[in-house]
Chains A and B, each alone.
Chain A
Amino acid sequence: MTSPDVELVRAVSEAGLRFFGVMSASVSHEIRNKLAVINEKAGLVEDIAVAMRSGRAPDPDRLEMQAQRIVDQIRQANRIVRALNRLAHSTDEADATVDVAELVALVVELYGRKAAMAQMVIEAEAPTGEIEVRTNPFLLANAIGLCLDSAMANAGGSRALRVIAEGDGDGVSIRIRGLEGDVDSGGGPATDRAGLGSLLETLGSDLAVDRESGDLVLSIRNLKPRENGSQP
């Protein structure tokens, strides 16, 4: 491997580790919040039982409602864990045919809390038909995440972003809509900008601003197998 290759691999690895760390921290925080609600609900059921033993009239409707809310919290926590699990499994193969709409929906779901903290909403728009590309799934998820970071940092007054996957010749495009003001395709923290640059180079992708629509557009071409058979 030549020196620039080594640097590129290192930059991509660091970006990937940072991305996985941020996602894991966000998910674990959300799960702790769900556990905290479950903990309080269980405590409240216990309080109700103690009050009933002391002579208060039984209230089965109230108990049923608390039990239902515990189930709701468990369902929400399970959905979050499933999303993190899918992201973890995106590292299983370095070269795969990726359902881009599905991957976009996954990253958007994982970014839900980050967006909420920035008082924003991000939605994935379902495409018409199947949109696939041959690429490294985890690196693409990482690139989509960094594009969302960049879009949130440069959203201007916008509080709602939409992400749309489209077929695009020998590859696909992922558009981020709803940005306002001057959009800079290289926005966000310097470490993230460097990481995104390395990811785009590795994936053979481009990130540009569509001057007509103001959308941030990530274009991904199908990867071609390397001569020695190795993949990024």
Chain B
Amino acid sequence: MTEKVLLVDDEEEFVETLAERMRNRGMEVATTSSGAEALERVDDEDFDVVVLDLKMPGIDGLEALERIKRRRPDIQVVLLTGYATVEKGVEAMKLGALEFLEKPVDLASLTDAIHKAKATKMVLVEKETEERIKEILHHKGW
């Protein structure tokens, strides 16, 4: 099944080129250049993974991560940044990021992280569906 990915980075040249390479590898990829726009896209569409830059004008990566996880806990977030510090990495993981990768990134590593994110999301969705079915069965008394 194709991974549906949202790439968020204020460096448009970077994000468009990476998106093209990921599409060449069979992924469905959308792009935005700001944290605010990413939040709108996440509200409107169902993504498996959001790949977020850490440092962006306006809503930065950590704030966007926190708000995405609050709205859509099932969506998996990978931080991809040129501004990696141990502190930022720990903070990102505490806020629910699945991976914290450094730029420039090896596409194979990013693809692995996206596959892992998709699998994690599927487990979460399956668990949620199972709980809903159990709840329906309990209420209906079947």
Is A35 touching B104 in the complex (CB atoms < 8 A)? yes
CB distance from B111 to the nearest CB of A (A): 12
CA distance A82 to B17 in the complex (A): 27
Q: Which residues of A contact B139 (CB under 8 A)?
A: none
If over half of A's interface residues share one DSSP class (helix, strand or loop), that class is named, otherwise mixed; here it is helix
CA distance A35 to B18 in the complex (A): 13
CB distance from B23 to the nearest CB of A (A): 10
B95-138 vs A, CB cutoff 8 Å, 1 = contact: the mask equals 00000001111010000000000000000000000000000000
B55-96 vs A, CB cutoff 8 Å, 1 = contact: the mask equals 111100000000000000000000000110000000000000
Q: Which residues of B contact A32 (CB under 8 A)?
A: 82-83, 102-104
Q: Which residues of B contact A36 (CB under 8 A)?
A: 11, 14, 82, 103-105
Q: List 21 A-B contacts (CB under 8 A).
A: A25-B83, A29-B82, A30-B82, A32-B83, A32-B102, A32-B104, A33-B82, A35-B82, A36-B82, A36-B104, A36-B105, A37-B14, A38-B104, A43-B17, A44-B20, A44-B21, A47-B21, A47-B24, A117-B55, A117-B56, A119-B58
CA distance A16 to B24 in the complex (A): 48
CB distance from A80 to the nearest CB of B (A): 12
Q: Is A73 close to B, CB under 8 A? A: yes
CA distance A37 to B104 in the complex (A): 8
Q: Is A118 close to B, CB under 8 A? A: yes
Q: Is A193 close to B, CB under 8 A? A: no
Which residue on B lies nearest to A47, using beta carbons?
B24
CA distance A36 to B80 in the complex (A): 10
Which residue on A lies nearest to B24, using beta carbons?
A47
CB distance from A118 to the nearest CB of B (A): 7
Q: Is B13 close to A, CB under 8 A? A: yes
Seen from chain B, the residues whose Cβ lies within 8 Å of a Cβ on chain A are 11, 13-14, 17-18, 20-21, 24, 55-58, 82-83, 102-105, 107
CB distance from B33 to the nearest CB of A (A): 12
Q: Is A40 close to B, CB under 8 A? A: yes
Which residue of B17, B55, B102 is within 8 Å of A44 (Cβ)?
Answer: B17
CA distance A1 to B102 in the complex (A): 47
Q: Is A69 close to B, CB under 8 A? A: yes
Is A29 touching B83 in the complex (CB atoms < 8 A)? yes
Q: Is A116 close to B, CB under 8 A? A: yes
Is B57 touching A39 in the complex (CB atoms < 8 A)? no
Interface size in chain A (residues, C-beta < 8 A)? 22
Which residue of B21, B103, B107 is within 8 Å of A35 (Cβ)?
Answer: B103
Is B13 touching A43 in the complex (CB atoms < 8 A)? no
Is B57 touching A117 in the complex (CB atoms < 8 A)? yes
Q: Which residues of B contact A35 (CB under 8 A)?
A: 82, 103-104
Is A40 touching B83 in the complex (CB atoms < 8 A)? no
Contact A33-B21, Cβ < 8 Å, known A39-B104, A118-B57:
no
CA distance A154 to B98 in the complex (A): 38
Interface members, chain A 34-65 (any B CB < 8 Å): 35-41, 43-44, 47, 51
Which residue of A25, A33, A40, A116 is within 8 Å of B57 (Cβ)?
Answer: A116
CB distance from A188 to the nearest CB of B (A): 19
Q: Which residues of A contact B104 (CB under 8 A)?
A: 32, 35-36, 38-40
Q: Which residues of A contact B56 (CB under 8 A)?
A: 117
